[in-house]
Structure 1
Amino acid sequence: MKNIKGVIFDLDGTLVSSSLDFQWLRQQVNCPDEDDILTFTAQLQDPYLKDRANSIIEQHELDDAHQANWIPGAKLFVDCLNQNNYPMAIVTRNFQQAAQIKIRNNAMPITRIITREEAPAKPDPTALLMIATEWRLKPEQVMYVGDFRYDVEAANNAGMHSCLYAPDELPDYAHQADQVIRHFDELTATLKSLN
């Protein structure tokens, strides 16, 4: 973290817990297993099917939002960043309403949030680069922390430091990340040693 001046986070599975059942969601909207569900839904030609699929996904996200709690160690790391005046933001594939519920219910001190309504969904790097520009930082001065392949790919596509949160078994794409952590305490300890 020595050269890092700002930190962007994913939301679900990174800062807060998530019980989204993507297998069930795929079945509900008839999305093939190998397809990204948001891309699949956006490409539906029938307006009725598209609206129905979006409604199902959004309702599932809202239900999940009310149950979301801090991931172990994440709050301490965010508080530590806050105390040391690091700018922070969230880039999530969630829609705005669900993201705001999770942030409000967990009293997160992060006010800059980009959802799928405002920028193309990850792994597209647009949202990450928008924030770096707002902060007047070079991409390499920003770290993006996430728990999934799209997070690592988005950070790499943006030229940012990619940090993969992998508390359990290492996924097959872990080698693509600049850094892999098992617990947020690792980042907190590094930050405290620098400050």
Structure 2
Amino acid sequence: MIQQTIKGVIFDLDGTLVSSELDFQLIKAQVGCSPEQDLLDFIAQLPSPYMRQEAMNIVHQHEMLDAQNAELLPGVASSLKRLEQMQIPMAIVTRNFGRAAKLKLAQCNVPISLILTRDDAPAKPNPSALLHIAKQWQFSTPHCMYVGDYLYDIQAAHNAKMRSCLYAPEDMPHYASQAHHILRHFNELPELVKAFA
């Protein structure tokens, strides 16, 4: 495989740039979703608009509460600064809803203005948001990298034909082998990007 230059980096938000304490098992229990089913898929399939809205209100409450307590994760500030110095454009794609995501960015002082939430595009692993950003940057997708901490992030990157980078600071998840790159410490990211510059 010919290694393409990395010209732009897109990040997941929760668990990648900022902390998150969202308890998905609790949220799923409150809306009646089974533990193994995707929460957003479950809500989308509820039979009436009223039921969908009620379920989404519960999710929004949890997300807003989580946003108020979010903190920037270790190594993020210095790495983003370094990428900025390297003139690498950056963006965020998150499954959060817009208000919670923007509150997190403001609260944690994240210097990235281009952000797409589930209000703007179908949620990951759907690649639409990633493809939209690549198009906006006018980069072909192999020149972009998506950095996230979960399986959906790797899948979204693959679906968009982008390079996938899994941020796994603690335990190595079973799906880690599906990622092109693995970051154990966030401050390794600029060197990884530089290696393909």
Q: Normalising by structure 1, report the TM-score.
A: 0.95
Alignment of 1:162-181 (within 5 A): 162-181=164-183
Matches of 2:143 and 2:71 in 1, distance apart?
29
Give, in whole Å, the separation in 1 of the partners of 2:79 and 2:163: 17
Kindly indicate whether the alpha-carbon contact (under 8 Å) linking 1:76 and 1:188 is maintained by their aligned counterparts in 2: no
Structure 1's consecutive aligned runs of 4 or more residues displaced over 4 angstroms after TM superposition are 191-195
Letter in 1 for 2:26: W
1:109 and 2:111 matched? yes
Distance in 2 (CA, whole Å) between partners of 1:43 and 1:184 is: 37
Q: Which moved more, 1:42-51 or 1:30-39?
A: 42-51
CA distance in 1 between partners of 2:163 and 2:183 (Å): 13
- 1:144 is paired with a residue of what secondary structure? strand
5 Å-filtered alignment, 1:135-174, equals 135-174=137-176
User: What TM-score does the superposition give when structure 2 sets the normalisation length?
Assistant: 0.94
Percentage of pairs with the same residue = 52
**Bigger mean CA offset, 111-120 vs 40-49:** 40-49
Unaligned runs of 5+ in 1: none
SS across alignment from 2:10 = strand
CA distance in 2, matches of 1:111, 1:129: 17
Q: Which moved more, 1:131-140 or 1:74-83?
A: 74-83
Q: Which amino acid aligns with 1:24?
A: L
Of the three residues 38, 41, 62, the one matched with 1:39 is 41
For residue 116 of structure 1, give the secondary structure of its aligned residue in structure 2. coil
Q: Which amino acid aligns with 2:98?
A: Q
| C-alpha distance in 2 between matches for 1:22 and 1:193 | 37
Say which SS state the counterpart of residue 164 (structure 1) adopts: strand
Match of 2:68? 66
How far is the alpha carbon of 1:108 from its aligned partner? 1.3
Which is further off, 72-81 or 136-145? 72-81
Distance 1:101 1:177, change over 3 A: same
In 1: Cα distance, 2:174 partner to 2:44 partner: 28
Root-mean-square deviation over aligned CA pairs: 1.6
Q: CA distance change for structure 1 residues 23 and 125 in 2, over 3 Å: closer, same or farther?
A: same
**Where does residue 49 of structure 1 map in the other structure?**
51
Distance verdict in 2 for CA 1:190–1:180, change over 3 Å: closer
Instruction: State the AA in 1 paired with 2:123.
Output: A
Separation of aligned partners in 1, 2:27 and 2:159? 28
2:42, 2:116 → 1: CA distance?
21
Q: Deviations over 1:167-192 (max 9, x none)?
A: 11111111110001111121134456
Secondary structure at 2:27 match in 1: helix
Question: Could you tell me which amino acid in structure 1 is paired with residue 49 of structure 2?
Answer: P
Report the CA distance between 1:48 and its aligned residue. Answer: 2.4
Farther-moved stretch of structure 1 (3-12 vs 44-53): 44-53
1:85 to 84, 87, 90: 87
